[in-house]
Amino acid sequence: MNKYRTHNCGELTKKNTSKDIILSGWVNKKRDHGNLLFIDLRDNYGVTQCVIDKSNKHFIKLEKIQLESVIKILGKVVERDKDTINLELKTGEIEVVIDTFEILGHCKELPMPIFTDQEYAEEIRLKYRFLDLRRKKIHENIILRSQVISFIRKEMNELGFLEFQTPILTSSSPEGARDFLVPSRLNPGKFYALPQAPQQFKQLIMVSGFDKYFQIAPCFRDEDARADRSPGEFYQLDLEMSFVEQEDVFNVVEKLMINLFKKFSSKKILSNKFPRIPYKEAMLKYGTDKPDLRNPLLIYDLTNVFTREDVKFDIFKKLVKSGSKVRAIVTKNTKDKPRSFFDNIDKWAKSEGGSGLAYFTIENQNEVSAKGPVGKFFSKQSLEEIMKITGAKIGDSIFFACGKIKDVEKISSLAREKIAHDLNLIDKNSFAFCWIVDYPMFEIDDDNKIKFSHNPFSMPQGDIEKIDFKNPLNIKAYQYDIVCNGIELSSGAIRNHRPELMYKLFSLAGYDKNQVDEKFSGMINALSYGAPPHGGIAPGVDRILMLLADEKNIREVTMFPMNQNAQDLMMNAPSEVSENQLKELNLSLKKRK
RNA sequence: GGGGGUGUAGCUCAGUUGGUUAGAGCGAUCGCCUGUCACGCGAUAGGUCGAGGGUUCGAGUCCCUUCACUCCCGCCA
């Protein structure tokens, strides 16, 4: 028999009545009646109420026990009286009458309470993460994480995927995020990089003929944190398949996501076939390539309306003449909303750094007219054109933004979210997945240089012999994102497995052949020894968990996260190292100013 | 790198227009209490008001600097 327990704290029921049992666990709560003491004993599996009274010689000692101490209890299971049953506990029909007990691990005075729903400061939570993790909600989130990962492994195995590990110490690559670097002792002056993703390795696995690969892969990117982005490391369900087209990857991922989200959430999935939205359309209708499709609002381009003679809104007209765009959002039946509703949104837009939003409401008093600060600038005919383009009806309101295309996309996208939020238009009980497809291969950066817009290893669309390299910005790629509820879960692509084409595309982005050979030596070399057509994707495990656990912050689904400054407050990382360690690595530190 | 928010007892927070000795709940310690499950009742201890500087007769409160945590922008192929 086990020395510490015969049962766990979540399994005793009426069936165990009169049995002598041993339980071990944490003192969750004490209720001391002076001559009668209740102790809620907690472990991973549940809580069991234990009781002792002053006739027991251990009573006085147990009365003094600190919360969160670990104790072992020997006692007898008894059925509770009907009026003392606690339906909130799985074990609520019984209690354990304590015979003797033993302290297994004493607990000092706690830096924060465990048994409470109270929020407390992140700094304390992270420093005492082992205590924080005892709390119900986050404890359950971490268990969910384990179950989700097991489920993914099982599903992927059933789909014929093989799981492989890839190196953690690898080489730095010029594209993408900032790398974490690790100095090499045996190669002074040289550095490994932690992989931002196993991108090249998984393609090499395809070249090696393994056909279908997956991995719950750690990825390291030295970028600043956000609520949904851990500093340092995160996990992806990295997968890659040979001899596939885009649709084949979509089929695997759609099936997996639906099974996963059905199993671990009761929220409904809006469509089992995820809509496919071309990048260009997404940027127009939603102002972003990660649209929240739970939000029914759409964005319309009204630039041409502002070239009409009978529209007198000169500020916008001038901007349009110099190349700016006008985008609009229609809100249904908002004619009776108070002035403050409109002004708040305008004020909010200004606080986002824009020039605010113009707006009016369409009315019909004798004839169609616009009511609002800028309404008088619009003729009846121009309003009818606006109504035709946007589908707006009498009683609806229209918000306008005007600016350079990037700025107007951004503010209209944010306004779409803000207005939907204010009008309570978003169904919080659903998951709306979609694919964003047809990404451009290249884009122009601020210095007017052509660069890869996504993954440089993506396959361009169309007949390879007929690609128009003279107009690189028109080249689309087999590059796709999967988005759920406005959160980008993943990017993927059908890869470019032809070295000549790869050199050509890299040359457009300013890399000559030698640079490509040097920077991507492993892969470009491999592709010239018989590479299969292949493609894949890498959904973010942490973000999937945030959706399933309904958490706004990635730390709530991460066992041992770092803080915003990429420090582990519990382990004191990063930390200084000894002179000797630096010497071995051939490193010396600059004096900090 | 930039912008916003927060910082008062171990924890969560209140603290009015700048005004006497900075409060509450939980926790801790001590006492009372035999059916609670957020048990109850009473008492006690516990404070560099994040830090530094300034204005003022007087600063938790106003100003400046700085630190920590956090959210956002930049960044994230």
Q: Which nucleotide lies at the shortest CA–C1' distance from A123?
A: B69
| Euclidean distance between CA atoms A204 and A195, whole angstroms | 15
Give the angle subtended at the CA of A485 by the CAs of A483 and A486, to the nearest 5°: 65
* Distance, C-alpha A180 to centroid of its chain: 21
Q: Is the CB of A80 under 7 A from strand B?
A: yes
Give residue A300's pLDDT. 95
Q: Is the CB of A176 under 7 A from strand B?
A: yes
Give residue A449's pLDDT. 81
Q: Which nucleotide lies at the shortest CA–C1' distance from A119?
A: B12
491-510 of chain A touching strand B, CB 7 A cut-off = 491
Q: Is the CB of A126 under 7 A from strand B?
A: yes
What are the residues whose beta carbons fall under 8 Å from the beta carbon of A407, sequence distance 6 or more?
A354
Phi, psi of A572, deg, nearest 5: 60, 50
* Lowest mean per-residue pLDDT among A172-176, A329-333, A499-503: A172-176
Residue A85 CA and nucleotide B43 C1' are separated, in Å, by 34
- pLDDT tens digits, residue range A110-148? 998 898 878 888 999 999 999 999 999 999 999 999 999
Give residue A593's pLDDT. 47
Q: Is the CB of A445 under 7 A from strand B?
A: no
* Residue A9, both tokens: 């704290």
Higher-confidence residue: A346 or A291?
A291
Q: Which nucleotide lies at the shortest CA–C1' distance from A222?
A: B76
Contacts 24+ apart (CB under 8 A), A312-318: A312/A376, A312/A377, A312/A378, A313/A358, A313/A374, A313/A377, A313/A378, A314/A377, A315/A402, A316/A358, A316/A400, A316/A402
- Residue A218 — pLDDT band, cuts 50, 70, 90? very high
Higher-confidence residue: A105 or A451?
A105
Give residue A591's pLDDT. 67
Closest residue (CA to C1') to nucleotide B29 in the complex? A64
- pLDDT tens digits, residue range A453-495? 888 899 999 888 888 888 889 999 999 999 999 999 999 999 9
317-376 of chain A touching strand B, CB 7 A cut-off = none
- pLDDT tens digits, residue range A484-542? 999 999 999 999 999 999 999 999 988 889 988 888 888 888 999 999 999 999 999 99
* Distance, C-alpha A267 to centroid of its chain: 17
Q: Is the CB of A55 under 7 A from strand B?
A: yes
- Residue A561 — pLDDT band, cuts 50, 70, 90? very high
Give residue A592's pLDDT. 59
Helical ranges in A184-307 per DSSP H = 199-207, 246-264, 279-285
Give residue A78's pLDDT. 97
Phi, psi of A364, deg, nearest 5: -140, 85
What is this structure's pTM?
Answer: 0.94
| Euclidean distance between CA atoms A511 and A499, whole angstroms | 14
DSSP states along A506-541? HHHTT--HHHHHHHTHHHHHHHTTTPPPEEEE--BH
What number is the average pLDDT over the span A302-327? 92
Give residue A353's pLDDT. 66
Residues of chain A with pLDDT > 70: what percent?
99
- Residue A193 — pLDDT band, cuts 50, 70, 90? very high
Closest residue (CA to C1') to nucleotide B6 in the complex? A121
Q: What is the mean pLDDT of chain A?
A: 93
Residue A576, SS3?
coil
Closest residue (CA to C1') to nucleotide B30 in the complex? A64
Q: What is the CB neighbour count within 10 angstroms for residue A239? A: 27
> What is the DSSP secondary structure assignment for residue A178, as one 8-state letter?
P
Question: Residue A70 in contact with residue A76, Cβ under 8 Å?
Answer: no
Give residue A330's pLDDT. 95
| Euclidean distance between CA atoms A217 and A86, whole angstroms | 44
Reference A108, options A70, A51, A134; nearest CA is A70
- pLDDT tens digits, residue range A26-56? 999 999 999 999 999 999 999 999 999 999 9
Q: How would you list the strands of the sheet with A397-403, edge to edge?
A: A299-301, A325-331, A397-403, A358-365, A367-371
What number is the average pLDDT over the span A150-178? 94
Predicted ipTM beyond 0.85: yes
218-257 of chain A touching strand B, CB 7 A cut-off = 221, 223-229
Reference A59, options A28, A38, A84; nearest CA is A38
A226, pLDDT greater than 70: yes
* Distance, C-alpha A123 to centroid of its chain: 22
A448, pLDDT greater than 80: no
Which residues of A106-145 form beta strands (DSSP E)? none
Burial bucket for residue A281 (CB in 10 Å: 0-12, 13-18, 19+)? middle
Give residue A116's pLDDT. 81
- pLDDT tens digits, residue range A353-386? 667 788 999 999 888 999 998 999 999 999 999 9
